[in-house]
């Protein structure tokens, strides 16, 4: 079930996010911000599924700018949580 939801989430992001960060509208900027937050939450449940969500698949890729920002944010959050333990 989690895999299906993550794939649906990924498809929605591919459809809604512009290829170039410079083409972000207010609405798509809010979507990108919220999507990164949701990926953080997903990574807490399953890091593998979160990583799969931003990994290129079947010739469909998320915009590069989003993948870079999301991966940095997930790594930052992971490191921050490890430092607290």
Task: Output the pLDDT for position 14.
Answer: 95
Average pLDDT over residues 59-71: 91
Please, which residues bridge with residue 57 across strands? 60
Average pLDDT over residues 55-64: 87
Task: Output the pLDDT for position 84.
Answer: 66
Report in angstroms the alpha-carbon separations of 44 from 14, 37, 38, 70, 75: 22, 11, 10, 14, 12
pLDDT (tens digit per residue) in 13-39: 999 999 999 999 999 999 999 999 999
pLDDT (tens digit per residue) in 38-56: 999 999 999 899 999 999 8
DSSP assignments along 26-56, one per residue: HHHHHHHHHHHHHHHHHHHH-HHHHHHHHS-
């Amino acid at each position: 079930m989690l895999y299906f939801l993550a794939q649906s989430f990924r498809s929605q992001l591919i459809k809604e996010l512009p290829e170039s960060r410079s083409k972000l509208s207010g609405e798509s900027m809010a979507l990108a911000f919220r999507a990164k937050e949701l990926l953080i939450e997903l990574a807490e449940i399953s890091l593998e599924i979160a990583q799969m969500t931003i990994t290129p698949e079947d010739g469909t890729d998320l915009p590069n700018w989003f993948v870079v920002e999301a991966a940095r944010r997930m790594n930052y959050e992971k490191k921050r949580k490890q430092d607290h333990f």
